[in-house]
Amino acid sequence: MTASQVLEMAKSQNARQIDIRFTDLPGLSQHISYPIRQLTEDAFEEGFGIDGSSIRGWAAINESDMLLIPDPTSAYMDPFFEVPTLCMVGDIIDPITRQRYDRDPRWIAKKAEMFLQNSGLADTAYFGAEAEFFIFDNIRFDQNAHSGFYFIDAEEGRWNSSRAENNLGYRPRYKEGYFPLPPTDHYQDLRAEMVEVMLSVGLDIECHHHEVATGGQCEIDQRFNTLVKSADNMMLYKYCVRNVAYQYGKTVTFMPKPLFGDNGSGMHVHQSLWRSGTPLFAGEGYAGLSQMALWYIGGLLKHSRALSAIIAPTTNSYKRLVPGYEAPVNLAYSRRNRSAAVRIPMYSASPKAKRVEYRPPDPSANPYLAFSALLMAGIDGILNKIDPGESLDKDIYDLSPEELKKVPSMPASLDEALDCLDSDHDFLLKGDVFTEELIEAFVSYKRKHEAEAVRLRPHPYEFALYYDI
């Protein structure tokens, strides 16, 4: 939509307020609301002033004034607010220079798309992300100088099978929650309501189902879209999931590994390149791939250890990415092996369906940064004709120790991942898509506020291990 069409939409929907949304560096949505009279055609050029100094990973207080420019193509009516509110995604502008702000994750994603087009390799990158999540009934946690704990409860959790009161059974067994019918699947109606809300705000949903873990693990799949639009859609997806659950008295988490002893939540990212409406990843090579697609995979695999800091960016991510637990930690590619980092889906022989699926990411990632970094790694693979090596079509658990040693793996911790990003990020700097300053800020933030913060605090299990030592 154009600015004038958005104004017409606001009028026809009787919108009384506008809400402009943007994303901080770690990947959490932020927003600010205004009375509808503030929305004029000039506002789409002049923007709205905000203080950016308190936004995580953004400017220092002496550079805090920023402009938020609404994007008319992102407009939709909020499905949750009581007062009719028209929402748009905003882009961040420096009010002095009128230049785009280099720490705005959405600007990085736009630069990645421009770099692809300027490279001449393709004109469009399609991304389709599958974000899993848990639905819980109660969550308690705290951490202070003398105590630290978390307590999760879910009506659907297998651990409630021995409960004396109000117990009707029908709960997924650990690691057996994939595709059960209700009443074992407790959340069919809740997911269906989430899907209806998503459709009402313009998201294109393909399917939904229960996932492998007990305790309410679910997945709702969106149709692929262009890089920036897919990242916008992922932020809106999370907003819808959280708020529908909240209305039902439930709570949702996108933490990659909230439960010990059961599957974690991933965000598998499907990717393909196109030019002039023609798919470029279909060919006569392995699994029906083109040489371009194989080089793209080569780039993903070569840079995976550096990518991990961006696509699996939390300390909790590495509770999921653990060798030997069906996690996609092995830096190899395969047409079917789901323990490989890159899988080539074989559901359809159509060239339009040919794509690569990158499996290490999880939904704690900032989608703007994650999708951009994946594209830059893939482009680097194509430009430098990086050979992905031999495919890994064996069951990883049938490999001998000697064979397994030859398969590189993802980092084992956030600290290690940040070290890898520190030493391998030149591919991200091409075309000024990422800047050295942005990467330094990202690594510094993650080290200080997450990796070091967790490392400094005693873990509850340490008391079980060591209290009587």
Query: Which residues are identified as catalytic?
Result: 51, 130, 132, 211, 219, 268, 338, 357, 359
Q: Are strands 138-143 and 65-70 parallel, antiparallel or unpaired?
A: unpaired
Q: Which amino acid is at 95?
A: P
Q: For 428, phi and psi rounded to 5 degrees?
A: -80, -20
Closest by Cα among 126, 124, 127, 114 to 430: 114
Report H helices in 100-226: 105-119, 188-200
Q: Which amino acid is at 400?
A: S
Is the torsion defined by CA of 417, 420, 422, 424 positive or negative? negative
Q: Which amino acid is at 207?
A: C
d(CA 318, CA 311): 11
d(CA 260, CA 460): 13
Is residue 342 a contact partner of residue 408, using CB atoms and an 8 Å limit? no
Q: Which two tokens stand for residue 97?
A: 């220079």
Closest by Cα among 163, 152, 221, 156 to 182: 156
Is the torsion defined by CA of 280, 282, 284, 288 positive or negative? positive
DSSP 172: P
Q: Which two tokens stand for residue 106?
A: 């959405």
HSE-up of residue 282 (Cα within 13 Å, Cβ side)? 12
Q: Which two tokens stand for residue 193?
A: 């309501």
